[in-house]
Amino acid sequence: MARVLWQGSLARLTRCSVGLFNHLVYYGGPCFVLLAVLLIGLCAASFLHTVLPWLAAPRQLATGGPTDALEPSPATDAVRPFVYYAHSAAAYYLLACIAFHYYGAVMTPPGGTEAFAHRVRERATAAAAGAATDAATEDHAAASPEKEAVIPLARDAKYDLEAALDGRGVPQKIGARYCRKCDRPKPDRGHHCSVCRRCVLKMDHHCPWISNCVGHANHRYFYLFLVYMAAGAAYFVVSSLPIALHILEWRVSSSPRLPPPGSPERGVFVLAWMLALFIGAAVAGMAVFHTWLIARGMTTIEYYGRDVAEAVASLRGNTYINEYDLGPRRNFRVFFNLGPDRPWWTVLVPRFVAPLSDGTVWLRADDLVSRHSTAWLRHTDFKDHLLPV
């Protein structure tokens, strides 16, 4: 008895702790977003104020030390125009891409399942009404054999909505997946977010740094933010490496291009460089991981649920195959919604692009080899992704 009470208390404590953590993540999301903007702005300001003038300064041969080296000229106003504008263009391009895609990831709703649930309920109601009509027709035909008629019952090709409705109008048996927390149907790849307390289309995960779920509609912006953030951090760290080595070794520089020891600019640069180094490495790791996921046609949730799916398939004597894996090239084309009017290079241009499909129907690997599925898909958003790539 005591053990049962202890386990029950522990379960309640765990639920309360998880609920408290989810509330902190949800309501603390704007603080994380503000902190991210401040850190990115700090690194950008340090690069433009300290690193860019040093990179664009004319070089002169400095002697007298252990080795000869090219150092910036003491002339404070002299710059090399080509170097200055080249680095400025690269820096502002990366900064614009980072800002744009971060804004897109934060402000774009990931996509909800409300419209899908409403559509499923309507079809379930129609199916139930059709079944009642069909039964009445059969009774009438049995009573009047000479007037026998067949009334076809419309069925949904994907969800086969043979549903019985309870008093609230909620389908009790439908082919679609059902969320008990939201009390409504949800499509394939849709999952319930315990932080946002809603179901999200093609949910990947909830990210506190964007105060939003990463889902069907904003996954593109989140991924490109990771890529450009990693590229920008690497550009900052590599281009300013000589300055960082000089400052971290506490050498007194004779060049007016570098902030003097003890100055606020020097401390800001050291902080920005360390942030770019360590946070950039972490973001780069996430970018590589998500690149691999996209190439395999998976989300983060599907990746961590793969072991369970493989174990279930093994118990049934089958081999687990990811049905959404269309091959790396086609996976990326579907992810970025590329097509005849949107080639690969458009990914490099920061702009808003709607995701492919409505997030409730997905192209599967067996659809590419099935003649029936191919004919059906030619009338959907996936029509440009059926041919070999």
Active-site positions read 207
d(CA 241, CA 65): 19
Please spell the DSSP secondary structure of 218-276, one letter per residue.
THHHHHHHHHHHHHHHHHHHHHTHHHHHHHHTTPPP--TTSPPTT-HHHHHHHHHHHHH
CB atoms within 10 A of CB 62: 14
d(CA 99, CA 111): 22
d(CA 59, CA 41): 29
Contact 389, 330 (CB under 8 A): yes
- Tokens at 170, concatenated: 């909620």
Which residues sit opposite 61 in a β-bridge? 70
Nearest to 96 by CA among 224, 263, 212, 286: 224
Contact 368, 326 (CB under 8 A): yes
Report the DSSP pairing between strands 69-72 and 59-62: antiparallel
Strands (E), 120-277: 177-179, 184-186, 191-193, 198-200, 205-207, 212-214
Q: Amino acid identity of 244?
A: A
8-state DSSP, 48: I
Torsion of CA 8, 10, 16, 19, to 10 degrees: -100
Region of residue 213 (phi > 0: left; psi between -120 and 50: alpha; otherwise: beta): beta
d(CA 309, CA 323): 12
Determine the number of helices (DSSP H) and then strands (DSSP E) in the chain. Answer: 12, 8
Nearest to 127 by CA among 187, 171, 188, 177: 171
